[in-house]
Amino acid sequence: MNTTPTFTEEERMALLEDAAERWSEALFRFAALRCASRSDAEDVVQEAFLRFATATTPVRNAKAYLFRMVANGCNDLLRRRRPSEPLPPTLEDDPSEEHMLEAEARRLGTLLDRLPAEQAEVIRLHTFASMRFTEIAETLELPASTVKSRFHYGIERLKTLL
């Protein structure tokens, strides 16, 4: 017996509106810190909401689904980005709020890139997306104890890097 709920188009749009209202800001912050670019972050978040809106099967946990889609989108974007691609202007070149965000994102990203990817992902989700360990565990489909240990070991490693 299938217990997965099905939604009407009106219910699906209500869920989308609710999700956008509740998590779009956190999703954007998470993506901006991963991509180090405001426009790339906006694109990744928009794509995640589009996938959510057009999902062919009902989504059980909208927050977990959206953060997983944003994480995957950021990973795809960073894989496609060529190493020789020029970086955005530095803070000294343009002190606007957008470039300050990008400079800080690059600084944090550089530190997190020195960690194993699994640890960095958990730290990003917990710190920048304000997700609880149980939510991260559901999002990444891992036991909560694994998520907690990845966070702990990642933070310890960051301390040694600083």
- Please give the share of the chain, as a percent, with pLDDT higher than 90: 22
State the residue range of the domain holding 112.
9-81+93-161
Whether 133 is in a domain gets the answer yes
pLDDT at 156: 92
Task: Report the mean per-residue pLDDT for the chain.
Answer: 81
Residue 142 one-letter amino acid: L
Tens of pLDDT, residues 139-158: 888 999 999 999 999 999 98
Is 70 within the bounds of a domain? yes
DSSP 1: -
> Residue 62 is encoded by which pair of tokens?
């909208």
- Please, are residues 66 and 19 in contact by the beta-carbon 8 Å criterion? yes
The answer to whether position 88 is within a domain reads no
Q: Return the CATH number at 140.
A: 1.20.140
The pLDDT of residue 43 is 93
Domain assignment present for residue 24? The answer is yes
- Domain contains 57: yes
Q: Which residues contact 129 (CB under 8 A, 6 or more apart)?
A: 26, 27, 29, 30, 67
* Residue 113 pLDDT > 60: yes
pLDDT at residue 84 in the model: 45
Q: Looking at the 3D structure of the chain, how many domains does it have?
A: 1
pLDDT tens track for 30-83: 888 888 788 899 999 999 999 988 887 878 888 888 998 998 898 888 888 755
Please count the other Cβ atoms lying within 10 Å of the Cβ belonging to residue 47: 17
Cα dihedral 129/75/111/153 (nearest 10): 70
- Do 34 and 74 touch, CB atoms closer than 8 A? yes
Please check whether residue 109 lies inside any domain of the structure: yes
Is a pLDDT exceeding 60 seen at residue 88? no
Cβ(116)–Cβ(110) below 8 Å: no
- Answer yes or no: are the C-beta atoms of 15 and 62 closer than 8 Å: yes
Q: How far apart are CA 98 and CA 38, in angstroms?
A: 7
Determine the distance from the C-alpha atom of residue 17 to the mean position of all C-alpha atoms in its chain, rounded to a whole number: 19
**Would residue 87 count as lying in a domain?**
no
Structural domain includes residue 120: yes
